[in-house]
Structure 1
C-alpha cells in the first residue's frame, strides 16, 4: 500500500503532524532514524517520503541520525521515490556553512561569517573578521547551540581556553558579524511546498533558543499581578517583504519543500537571512490566535503529493 513515510528522530516534534494526518485520514508510517539498516540492493516501499531530520538530534542522544538519514534519502532518490526535503535539504540542515554559501549564491544577504576548526583558529578567525561585537555559533546546531556574544578578542580567548567552551558536534565553530536590530526580535518565515505561508515575529530578549516547539510561558511569579507577558511567538498578519520571493527562489533552486528561514533587519533597514530550518516547527499558541495551522497545511501537501503519485 502506498503511504506517507515520515523520516525523523523526535516523537515530540512529529506528534503534531501525526494528528493532522489522522484528521485527514491519510495513510502514514513513521521512520525513527536514530538507528537502522539500509539494504541498498532492495527497493524502498512505495509512497511519499518526508524528511524531518534535525541538526540538533545529537542533543537528544541521536548522534548519527543525520548521517543515517542522508544515506536513506540517497537510497530513496536513487530508486525514483518522491522525497520532500531530500539530500540537498539535509546537507543544508546540518551545516550553516552550506546554508550561507547557498544563500549568498542566491543573492541573499547573510552576516559576514568565518568558519574555523581548532581553538587558535577560532581566535584567528575573530581577528580576521575585525568586527565588534561578534558572535560565535556551532556549524551543526539548532536550538541556538554555541551562540555567544563577544565584545573583545580577549574575552573570546578566555572563553575558548576556559572550562565553559563547548565545541560544535562537527568541530566547526563560526565567528559571525553581530547584527544589531533596533528592537529585540527576529522574523521567521515559514514555507510549505516552497511557497510562503506566514511570518512569525520572535521575541529575542531572553536569548537565542528560538525553536517554536521549545517555547515556554513565563512563570507567574515573574509577572506583575494582573499583567500578561507578551507572546514570544506572534504571527505577523499581512507580512509582505521583498525578500520573500528571493527566499522562495532559493528554496526551489535547492530542492527544499518545507522550511522556516530566520531573518533580521538591522538599524539601517538591511535584511539578513541567517538560519535555514528544513525541520521546521510551528507554535500552536501563535497559530490559534490567527487561525493558521502549519502542520495542517503540511499534511494537506503530503496528501496531495501522495494522491498524484498513486494516480500515476
Structure 2
C-alpha cells in the first residue's frame, strides 16, 4: 500500500491576488455608475460642479458598488459554480475564500459610507448603504431565486447612483432625480432579459427563475417591448428642466430603441432566429446616448438659457 502525498500548491503572486479581489467587485457592472451618476450631478448643478465633488462621489459610489457586488458573489457562490457565464468568478474558482470575500465586501461598504459622509454628505452615504443592503437582502437573498420578477424590482439597486449623485450636489432629492431613477429602472428589465435569453440554460441549471426560463420567448420579448416604451416615455418627462437639446436626443434615441425592440419581437413571432445580444448591446448604447445628451444639455444649454426648475 502506498500513500500519495500531494505537493502543497504554490503561493499565488500578489498581482494575481489583487486581480481576484478586483474581479469580485465586477468592474464592468460598475460602468453604469459612471454613465448615469455624472449627468445626474451636472443636471442637479445646472452646470459643471467642482471636480473634487464629482471625483469623491464616483469614488464613494464605486466602493459601494464594489461592496454590493463582492457580497453578491459571496451569497451566489453556489450557483456561480453551475453557470458557464459565472464559473470563472473568484469564489467559483476558489481563488478567494468565502470568509475573505465576506470581509472584503463588508469593509468596502464601511469605507464607502465613511468616505461619502466625510466628502459629500451624510445623505449620499445613507443612500449608498441602503443600496448595498437592498441589493443583498432583497434582491440576492429573496427575489433572485424565488420570482421571475426578480430583476424588475431587484434592479432598483442599479438605479440609485443617480439619486446618490443628485443628493451629493443638492443635499436632498427632487423630482428630476426620481425621473432619472425611473429611466434606469424601466431600462433594466429589457436589457437584462436580452442577456438572460442567451444564458437561460445557465439560469435553469442553477435554479434561478429568470423570466426567459419560466416563460416563452414570445412572452419575454413582449415584456421587453413594454418596458422599452416605459423607458422612452419616462426619459421624456425631464423636458421641463432641460432645454430642447435633451428631448431631441432622448426622443431620437428612444425611437431607435423602440424600433429595435419591435423588430426583435417581429422576428420572434415569425419564428426567425433573433440575436438578442445585439439588442443587449444596443440598450447599453441607448442609455449612454440619453445620459450623454443630458450631460451636454446641463453643461452647455442650461447655463446659457437659464432654464428654471
Do they superpose with TM above 0.5?
no
Structure showing greater Rg: 2
TM-score range for the pair, normalised by the shorter chain length: 0.3 to 0.5
Structure having the larger proportion of residues in strand: 1
* TM-score, normalization by structure 1: 0.32
